[in-house]
Structure 1
Amino acid sequence: MKLLFTFFLLLTVISLFSVDFNIQAHFDPQNLTISGTLCTKSGIKNFLLLPNYASKGNPYLHALYEELSGAMDILSVTNGEGNEIDYTLDTYPATLMGDEALRKETMLTIKEDATRVIVHFRTHLKREQLPEEGAYSDFILYRFGWYPLPMEDNEGLRIRPHSWQLSMQMPENWQAIVSGDQIGESMWKSQGDYLSSPVAFVRKDSYKEFSVPFEAMKIIMHFREGFEGEASKLTAYALKMLEHLVKKLGPLRYSTIHIVQDPFPGLYGITADGLVAIGDGFFTSANLWVNGLLDPLAFYLVAHELSHLWFGIGTGVDFLKNNFMSESLADYIAHSTIFELCGKDYYMNWESSDLFTSLIKNYFDIPETIAHADQLMLLYTKMAGVKAAVSDPLDAIPQNFASAIYYQKGKRAFFSLEELLGREKMYSILSEYYRLYAGKSVSRDEFLAFLERYVDPEVLYALFLERRNFDARVYPSDGFVNIDSGNLKIPLKVLVETPDGSRSFITSDSTSFPYVSGMQVHLDPEMRSFDIERHNNHWPLLFESGYGEYQNRYDAYLLSGRGIVGISASGIDYTGELLFEKYPYFGIGLLNQSGYMSDEGRGYSHTGLSLYFQPDLYSLLKLKYSGLEGFSFSANFGIPERLYIGESSPLMMARHVFSVKSRFVDTSNYYIDCLYNFDDTLKHGLYLGIEGLIGKIDATPTYIGGFYGSWIANVRSKFLPSFDLLAVGEASGKKVFDPFYDVLSFEATSNALDPLMSKYTPTSYLLDLRVSFPYVVSMNRRISFLNLFSLGGIGVSWELGGRFFDSGNVFYTSLVFTPVIYIIADTPFKINLGFSFLMDADGASTIGIKGGVSLGSTIYFNEKLGFSTIKEVIKWKNSGSR
C-alpha cells in the first residue's frame, strides 16, 4: 500500500511539475460559472483577470451599446502547504486597454514568494448572446482568460506563453471542446507553450461532430444539427488550407484542430490555440438567395483564421501594441494563398449561374474582388482624415478605422515585401520566423530586427512605421516619364508597355526614364501596395465604360450607364443616366426621364444633367436638373470629431451633421429645406433634429419649422424606455400637415373614410409625444424561411402617446412587432409592424396600422417619426414635382 501511495504521489508531482499550470475546473451551465483551482510553480507575480474588465460598466458609453463583462472572483490564494498567501486585486496598469474605471480589480498581484501558488477562482459567464464569453442554451465559448492569465508586459496585452494541464468536469449532457492532447476522458494537456487554454462547451443533444485526419493531426468539426453540408464545406476548405500552409510554413504544434459553429450571427471567425470558431452566418444564412454566393468569402475567412495558428497565436504578440503582427500577417497569408489556390480573389461567387448574381452585385454595390474591398477600406480611411502607421498601437488609431490599418494597410505592407523579395522567399522568411518564435511572445522591435536580416531598414520603416499616406503617381515631363513615390521607400511594381513589348521592374525610389511613342506605364497594377489614390497610377489615364467583369473603378475614370424602371397604378416611368465619374470623388451625367401616365393617357420624355462631389467622408454635394422635376440641390456636411468612449482609442465620427435640400420647378413651386442633426445616442442616448423649410407650393408662400427629439433612458435593463417628440408648424397658419401621417386605417379602405380620422382635416401645427417600452427576444437558433431570410428574434414595443393639433387632440397606444431577420450576407434587417388604438377627447376611436423597415439589429428597433425631412409629414403636391 505504501509503495502504491508513493507511486501515485510521484505521478502527481511529475504531472504537476511537467507543466507551468495545472488547472482543475468545474463548469456549471445552470449558474453559468466555471469554478477552479490553478496551481503553478513558475513564480509569476502578475495575472490578468480579464473577465473583470468593464464588469462595473462603462461610464462613457450608453447602456444601449454597452456589453457588460462577466466577472472573476478570487476565492483564495495559497501555497503548496495550504497556507494563505498575501495578494491584492489591482487596477491593470495598461492604459492601452482604456479608461481606469474599466480596469479596476483586473490584476491579481502575488505579494509573497512561494514554491507553488494555488489560486482558487470562480468565473461568471455573461448572460448575453455574444460571439464569445456569451451564453446560449447549447453553446458557450471562452477563448482567453477564463482563468487568471500570466502576463509578460503589463503595459499592454502580452500574454506569457505557458504549458498547461486541464481537468474539466461538467454535467453529462455537456461536452467540453479543448485544444491540446486529450489524455483522459476529461483531461487535456498542451503540446508546448500556448497563449491560453481555450474552451467551448456544447450540449451533446444539439451539436454533432465529425473527424477528418490530416497527416499527424486531425480536424474535428463541431456543428449544430441540420448544417452537415455547410460544416463539410468549411472542413474541406480547412483541409485544403492546412495542406498548403504546412508545406509553406512548417508543421503546427497541435495534434487536433477544433472548428466550431458559433451561434452568434455574422460573417466572422475567432481563433485561439488549436480552436477556431466560425460565425453562424456561414452556416445559417450562407446560401440565402444564391447558393454558394459566399463560398469565396468563407474560404478566405477559414484561410485567415487558420493562418493565426502560425502568426498571432502560434507566435504570440501584444494585441494592444503590435496587433499588426497578428492580423496583418494572417490576412497576407490568407490572401496570397487564395491567389495561389484559386487564381482569382473573388469577393463572392460571381460565376454562379443564378440569375440574381449580377443584380445583387450591382444593387448592393459589392466589390468584385477582395483586393477591391481592401482598396475601398484604404480609400475610406484616407477620406476620413486618418493617418496611421501599420505598427501603431491600438490607442493611436481611431477605433472604427483600426481594422483598415491592421488588416488592409498591414496586409498590403507584406504584399509590398513580396513584390520586393518574391513569394517563395517571403514564405521562406516567415517559415523561419515561425520556427524560431513558435510558443513565444514577440515584440515589434524583435520582429522588425528579424526582417532586417533580409530587407533594407528604410523600406521596413516606410512600410511599418511611417504614418503618412502613400500616394505614388506617374506623369510625363520634358520627354521623360516620372515615377514619384513621395519620398517613401515603398517597393512598387512598374509595368511599362510599348509597341515592341512590355517589361516590369520593382523600385522603392522615385525614378524616371525616356518616353517612347505609344508607351503606357502602370504603377502597382496588381494592387499590392497601400497606395490610397490610384487614378494617377497610370499614364495615359485609364478610361473604362460599362460595368464589365474587369472594371476597376479605383484606377479608371468611368463612363457608365444606369437605369431604373418604376411601375405604379398611375403608369410606368424610366430614369436613365449616363455618368462620367472619378470614383468616389465626383461624377457628372446626362439624364433622361420618360414614361407613360395612364390617368392622362399620354407619354413624356425629359432630359437633364446630374452632378455629385464628395471630397471626403463628411461632405457630399449633389445637383440635378431635368425638364420633369426642375432644379434640385442637396448638400451634407458633417463635423468630424474623435469621440472618446472609455476604450483604447476614440471613434472618428460626425455627431453634428448639416443638410440642405432645395428644388426649383418654376416661380410657383420651389423650396429650400435646411436640417441639423445631432446624434449622441452612443454616449447619452440622445438624437435631435431641427429643420426649416421656406418656399412656394402651388404659388402659396410656405414657411415651415420643426423639431424632432428622441431620448433613450440609460438603464441596464432589457427594457430601455425611450421618449420621442415631434413638433412642426407652418408660420402663416396654412394647413399643410396630416395629423395621421404615419397611420393607415384598419377599419376603412382609406383614412378619409375612417370614423376617427375623417373628423380631422390637415392642420397648421402638429405636436406628437410618445413613450415606448421595447423588449427583444433573441432566438438561440435562427430559422430560415424559403431560402429568403433567417429569423433571429423578435422585438415587441408598447407605446403610449398623444397628438395635438389645431382641430383636436388624439391619444393612442400602439403595439409594435419587429421581427429581426437576416438577409443575404447575414445582413440584419428589421420590419416594424404596429397596431394602434386611437381615441380623441370626444371618445371617438379607431384602429390603425403602421410599419417601416430599417437596417441593424440594435434593441432600439422603434421606427423614428421620419424627420429626415419635414415633407414626410406634409401632404402637398405641385406641378411636376415628386
Structure 2
Amino acid sequence: MIYGTEEVRFTSAPGEVAFMLLANLGREPNPYISPRARDSTYPWGFDPSWTRIEGVSWRSGGEEGALDYDLRDFPLILQTYSLKEGIMTVKLPRGEAGTLVIRFRTRFPHQAMGEPGWLDGIHTWRFGWHPILLPEIPGNWEELPLYLPAYPYSLELSLPPGWVAALPGDRVTEEREGKGTVYHVSFARTVRSISLYIAEKGSISSFELAGEGPEIQAWYLPGDEDRVRALATYIPEILSWYGERFGPYPHKRLLLVEHPNTEGTSFAADGVVYLSRWYFSRMDLTAKGALSRAMQYVLAHELAHQWWGIGIGVDFDRGNWLSEGMAQYLSISWFEDRYGAHGGNLFVPSGKGLGEELLRNYFGFVNLREHLTELPYMDTAFMGFDEAVVKPSREVRYHQEDYERLYDKGYLVLRALAHYVGEDTFYQALREARKEYAGGEITPEAFEELLEKVSGKDLKGFFADWVLGDAVADYRVLYLRVEPLGEGRYRVRTGLEWRGSGSLPVEVEFVGEGDERKVVTWNPKKPREELSLELPFPPRRVILDPGHYVLDTDRSNNAYPRRFRVIMGRNDLPLDAYYLVVLDPMSGAVSGGYLDRFAWAIYPGERLVAGRIRYGRTGELFGIAQAADGFRGRISWTQYLWHRPATGFTGEYWERAGELKLGVLKLDTGFVPYTEIHWHEGITAVRAGVLSLHYFQGHWRLWARDTEEVALAPRTYLDLSFGFGRAYGMPAGLDFGLDEFITAQGRGYSKVFLGGQLWLPPLVDEYSLGGALLLSRVDQYLFLHVARLNEGPWVGEGGMAFVAHMEALGGLFPVTLVGGLVVPLLPQPDLQGLIFFYSVRVGP
C-alpha cells in the first residue's frame, strides 16, 4: 500500500483540472473471462488494485482549504469493465497561484507479471500509482487520447525499516529517518513517471558499471549477479549507437533491473529498463550463451523506449505503433548492424559441446528479423487477421493479433518507410522528431508531416495504405526470358505480378553466373506487367525484393526459377523458398512444403505418404495413404470454427472454438464416410468435446463426449467428462476402446464413460537439473475414470498424476514428464494394488 500526497503547483490555475486514476481499472475482476484465464494473471485469485482519494485541498498564501472533487467513469478506451472512479475532476480558483494537494492511497495487487503490483515480495509500478494530471479536459471524454503526459516530477519516498528501493532519476539521494529510509528523486527534464521498485533488503542487490556516459546502475536477484553484469556491459554500446543516430540518451542515470516475473515480460520507464528473470535463468541453459543475443535484443528494445514511447510520447491507445513498432525498428537495426542481417543470427551459442551442437541443429537457423517479425506478420495476413497499425482499440477487429500488428507489422511498416524515403533521410527525420517532440507527444499524422518535410516526398498514399489502412500485397515473378543480342548484350524480359490492395516500389535483382548482379526498381501500375531491359550478362535468376523491404504475404514466388532449400541434418525454415527435408533423422521421412501452408511427407519404411494444404482461417485439406498389407488411407476437409466472445476489452477478439471435419476412410473392407465436430474454449469458459458419426454399408457409429470445467478455488479446478457411443456393423478398429484408462483394456460396440479430474494448485519454483534442464512447473491432479463396454461389467480406476514441465536449450525446447500412481477401483482380476506409470514427451 502506498500512502501518498501529490502536490501540483500552478502559477495561474485553470478553472478545472482532471486526473486519471489508472489503478482503478484493476479494482474489479474481469467478469467475462474464465477463472482459469483469470488465474493466469492472479496466482491466488483476483487481487484488486485501486487508488482512493483521501482528500483534496488548495494551498495559497500560507493557507490551505478543502476542495470538492468529482469522480466519474473512465471512458471506454481499453476495457468495458472496472471503469468506476477512473477520472477525478477538481474545480480550482481560476487565475490564482497556488498548490493543489491530493492525499491518496494506492493498493498494489498480487499478480503473475508483478507490474503493476507485487510478486515474490517485490513491488513494481511504472505508470499510474498516483493520480495523473491531464493536460486539458477533453470536449468528448470518449475520444480521450491515452497519453502519459510529461511533467517535472520529483519524489520523496519514505520506506519502513528493512526495505530498499531501486529508483530512476538524474539525482537520487537517501537519508535515514528514524529506522527507515527517505529517498529524494528528481530529473533534469520532464518525465512521464517516476517508477517504483521496492523490496526487502537482501532480496535485491546492486552494482554500478564504471565508464563514460550516463551512470549505469544494475539491480539483480539472488544468484544472477554474473549474468546481469554480463548483459549490462552492452548498455554503453547500445546507447552510443542510438545516440549517434537519433540523439543522445536523455538522462544522467540509467537503471537495469532484473524483474522477478517468469512470464518473459520486460518493460521500461523513464531512466529504467526491467528485464524478466525468465531470460537470466535460461541464458546458459543446456548450451553456453543460448539466450545471450536474444537478451541483448530485448535490452536494446527496452532501451529504445527512452527515445520513442517514453522519450517521445504517443497515444498508447491509437498510436502505440510509434512506441512498440519504433522500438522494434531501432533495436533490430542495432542488432543487424552488430551481428549481420542474414542467416541464423539469434541463437548462436558460445563454444563447443553437446548442448551447443543441439542448439545449432534445432534453432541455429533462426533470423531475428525474418523468423521473429516477418514470419508472424505473414502468418497473420495468411489467416486473414491483418489490419491497420494505427486505430483506436474499440475499432480493432482482431485483438488476438495485437502483438503481431503493433510490434511485427509495425516494424515492417517502418522498415519499408525507411527504405522508401532512404535510410539516411529516415534517421534525419527521427533526429528532428526528437528535437521537436521529446517530452511531448507525436501523432501518426504529425510523424507523416515531419517525414514529408525532411524527405520532400508525398507520403499520403503510403500512410493511407500501410499505416492507417489495411493494405496487403503479394508480389510474384512469372517468368524470365533471355535473348542474346550479340556483342555481349542480352535482352531480358521478366513477367511480374502484384496482387492485393496496396503496393510499393519493389527492387528487382537479376543474378548472373558469377558475381554479376543488376538491381532495378519496379513500381507496379497494373496487376501484371513485363519488365524489359538490356544487360551485359545473361541472368540465370530474377529475385523480387531481395532485401525483404516491402510487406509481402507470400515469398515463395519472389524468385524465378523458384527456390528450393534442401535440408539435411540441421533445421531450417526459409521464407522465400520451398523446403525439402532429406531423410529426417527422427522419422526417416522425406518431406517438403512451404512454411506451414502446405506440406507433404513420404515414409519409405512404412510405405506411407501424407500431405496437408491450409486455406487461411477457413480450413485445411489433409490426406494420408499407406500401401502395406493392402491399401488404407484417409482424406478429410477441416472447417475451422471461430467465435468472437466478449472479453471485457473494447474491439473484437477471435477465438478458434472448434472444427468441423468431413472425410472418408479407406479400409481393407471398403470406404467409411464420416463427419466430426470438435469444440474447445478457454477464454470465457473452459470446455472441450467431440461429436462424430461414421457410416459403413448401411451401418453407423456414433460417439459423443464433453468435458466441462468448474472452478473450486484459485488454481483449483474440477473437470467433469461424459462420453457415450454406439456402433453397428463397423469394421475392426472402429469399435470402442478404453483409451482413457491405464489399468483396463477391451473393445466393444457400445461405451459409456464417466470421468473427473481435480486439478490442484501447481508447484511453481524453478529448479535447475545440472544446467541441462530446468524444471519450471509441476501440475498435479487427482483422477477418477469409470466406463462400461457393451453389457459387460463396469471398470474403474483412480489415482494421482504429476506433469513436470521442463525446458532445455535456453527454454526453447520443452520436455514433459508425466507420471503418477493409479489403482483399479472395480473388479479387475489381473490387476491389484498401486501401479506406477510414466511417459515422456520431447520437443514442441
> Scaled by the length of structure 1, what TM-score is found?
0.81
Give the AA of the match of 1:847: L
Task: Tell me what 2:509 maps to.
Answer: 495
Q: 1:654 aligns to what?
A: 656
Kindly report which structure 2 residues correspond to 1:636-655, keeping only aligned pairs within 5 A, or say none: 636-655=638-657
Q: Which amino acid aligns with 1:814?
A: G
Summarize the Cα distance change of 1:584–1:794 in structure 2 as closer, same or farther, 3 Å threshold.
closer
1:713 aligns with 2:710: yes
Shift of 1:214: 4.6
Q: Is the 8 A contact 1:181 1:189 kept in 2?
A: yes
| Residue 765 of structure 1, CA deviation | 3.6
Alpha-carbon RMSD across the aligned residues, in angstroms, is: 3.4
Aligned to 1:7: none
1:218 partnered with 2:215: yes
8 Å CA contact 2:644–2:653 kept in 1: the answer is yes
Classify 1:529/1:777 alpha carbon distance in 2 versus 1 (closer, same or farther; 3 Å).
same
Maintained 8 Å contact 2:213/2:236: no
CA contact (8 A) 2:347 2:360 kept: no
1:312 deviates by 0.7
CA contact (8 A) 2:715 2:762 kept: no
1:677 to 2:678 alignment: yes
Instruction: Mark the CA change 1:812 to 1:502 in structure 2 (over 3 Å): closer, same or farther.
Output: closer
Give the corresponding residue for 2:531. 513
Corresponding residue to 2:494 among 466, 478, 481: 481
**Alpha-carbon distance, 1:633 to partner:** 2.9
- Residue 449 of structure 1 deviates from its aligned partner by 1.5
**CA distance in structure 2 between the partners assigned to 1:82 and 1:834 by the alignment:** 68
Q: Choose the corresponding residue for 1:814, options 773, 793, 799.
A: 799
Q: 1:648 to 1:832 in 2, by over 3 A?
A: farther
Please tell me whether the aligned partners of residues 645 and 655 of structure 2 are also in contact (alpha carbons under 8 angstroms): yes
Could you say which residue in structure 1 is the equivalent of 2:486?
none
Give the residue type in structure 2 aligned to 1:481.
Answer: T
Deviation at 1:636, TM superposition (A): 2.6
Q: Deviations over 1:438-489 (max 9, x none)?
A: 1112222222221121232233433322312122334459974355556745
SS at the partner of 1:205?
Answer: coil
**Which of 84, 94, 98 does residue 66 from structure 2 map onto?**
84
How many Å apart are 1:519 and its aligned residue? 5.7
Q: Deviations over 1:517-544 (max 9, x none)?
A: 5363322212222211222322333333
Q: Is the 8 A contact 2:257 2:273 kept in 1?
A: yes
Q: Distance in 1 between matches of 2:824 and 2:717?
A: 24
* Counterpart Cα distance in 1 of 2:29 and 2:18: 24
Contact 1:417 1:491 in 2 (8 A): no
Q: Would you say the 8 A contact 2:267–2:302 is kept in 1?
A: yes
Q: 1:623–1:106: structure 2 CA closer, same or farther, 3 Å change rule?
A: same
Match of 1:323 among 320, 328, 337: 320
Query: Alpha-carbon deviation of 1:515?
Result: 4.8
Deviation at 1:97, TM superposition (A): 0.8
Report matched runs for 1:392-791 at 5 Å.
392-395=391-394, 396-453=396-453, 454=455, 455-457=457-459, 458-476=461-479, 480-484=493-497, 488=502, 490-498=504-512, 501-506=516-521, 508-510=523-525, 513-515=531-533, 517-518=538-539, 520-546=541-567, 553-565=574-586, 575-579=588-592, 581-588=593-600, 590-593=602-605, 606=607, 608-628=608-628, 630-660=632-662, 663-667=665-669, 674-694=675-695, 703-713=700-710, 717-731=714-728, 741-744=739-742, 762-777=747-762, 779=764, 782-791=766-775
How much has 1:682 moved relative to structure 2? 1.2
Tell me the TM-score normalised to structure 2 length: 0.84
Inter-partner Cα distance in structure 1 for 2:108 and 2:804: 27
Structure 1 counterpart of 2:163, which letter? W
For residues 605-657 of structure 1, the C-alpha deviation after alignment (integer angstroms, 9 at most, x for no partner) is x4x54332112144222223332273233443202343331213322232131
Give the C-alpha shift of residue 165 in structure 1.
1.1
The offset of 1:336, in angstroms, is: 1.1
Closer/same/farther in 2, CA of residues 813 and 169 from structure 1, 3 Å limit: farther
The CA distance in 2 between the partners of 1:325 and 1:446, in whole Å, is 11
Give the stretch that moved more between structures: 283-292 or 625-634: 625-634
Residue deviations 1:49-75 (CA, integer Å, cap 9, x gap):
222114212222112112445222222
In structure 2, the CA distance between the partners of 1:362 and 1:381, relative to structure 1 (3 Å rule), is farther
Contact 1:735 1:764 (8 Å CA) reproduced: no
1:39 aligns with 2:18: no
Q: Could you say which residue in structure 2 is the equivalent of 1:241?
A: 238
Contact 1:776 1:794 in 2 (8 A): no
- 1:120-159 matches, within 5 Å, as 120-152=103-135, 155-159=144-148
CA 1:260–1:853: 2 relative to 1, 3 Å: farther
Q: Secondary structure at the match of 2:473?
A: coil
Q: Does 1:335 align with 2:332?
A: yes
- Are the equivalent residues in 2 in contact too, given 1:678–1:687 (CA < 8 A)? yes
157-166 or 106-115: which moved more?
A: 106-115
Query: Would the alpha carbon gap of residues 830 and 190 (structure 1) be closer, same or farther in structure 2, given more than 3 Å must change?
Result: farther
Matches of residues 269-288 of structure 1 in structure 2 within 5 Å? 269-288=266-285
Structure 1, gaps ≥5 residues long: 1-32, 566-573, 595-605, 745-750, 752-756, 858-882
Q: Note the C-alpha offset of 1:322.
A: 0.2
Q: CA contact under 8 A between 1:138 and 1:202: conserved in structure 2?
A: yes
2:304 is the alignment partner of 1:289: no
Q: Given residue 443 of structure 1, which amino acid in structure 2 is its aligned partner?
A: T
Displacement of 1:327: 0.9
Q: Cα distance 1:279–1:294, how it changes in 2: closer, same or farther (>3 A)?
A: same
Paired residues in the alignment total 783
Structure 1 residues 633-686: Cα deviation after superposition (integer angstroms, max 9, x where no partner): 344320234333121332223213123565435227x75554311122311222
Distance 1:137 1:297, change over 3 A: closer
**For 1:549 and 1:810, how far apart are their aligned partners in 2?**
48
Distance 1:446 1:853, change over 3 A: farther
Q: Percent identity?
A: 19
State whether residues 565 and 578 of structure 2, in contact with CA within 8 Å, keep that contact through their aligned partners in structure 1.
Answer: yes
Task: State the distance in 2 between where 1:702 and 1:577 align.
Answer: 38
Displacement of 1:412: 1.6
**Structure 1 residues 383 and 86 mapped into 2: Cα distance closer, same or farther (>3 Å)?**
same
SS in 1 for 2:381: helix
Mapped partners of 2:382, 2:192: distance in 1: 37
5+ residue gaps in structure 2? 175-182, 482-491
| Separation (CA, whole Å) in 2 of partners of 1:398 and 1:461 | 20
- Call closer, same or farther: CA 1:60–1:358 in 2, change over 3 Å: same
Query: Is the 8 Å Cα contact of residues 282 and 291 (structure 2) preserved in structure 1?
Result: no
* Residues 735 and 556 of structure 1, relative CA distance in 2, 3 Å threshold: closer
CA distance in structure 2 between the partners assigned to 1:812 and 1:591 by the alignment: 38
8 A Cα contact 1:492 1:524, kept in partner = yes
Structure 1 counterpart of 2:249, from 242, 252, 263: 252
Residues 46-125 of structure 1 mapped to structure 2, 5 A cutoff: 46-66=18-38, 67=41, 68=46, 69-80=48-59, 81-93=63-75, 95-99=76-80, 101-113=81-93, 115-125=98-108
CA change 1:113–1:506 in 2 (3 A) is farther
Q: Which amino acid aligns with 2:109?
A: K
Report the AA paired with residue 3 of structure 2: S
Tell me whether 581-590 or 284-293 shows the greater mean CA deviation: 581-590
* C-alpha distance in structure 2 between counterparts of 1:366 and 1:188, whole Å: 46
Q: 1:803 and 1:834, CA in 2 relative to 1: closer, same or farther beyond 3 A? A: farther
Question: Using the alignment, how far apart are the partners of 2:543 and 2:729 within structure 1?
Answer: 63
Q: Aligned partners of 1:541 and 1:817: how far apart in 2?
A: 49
2:173 — aligned with what? Answer: 184
Partner of 1:535, secondary structure, is coil
Give the corresponding residue for 1:197.
Answer: 194
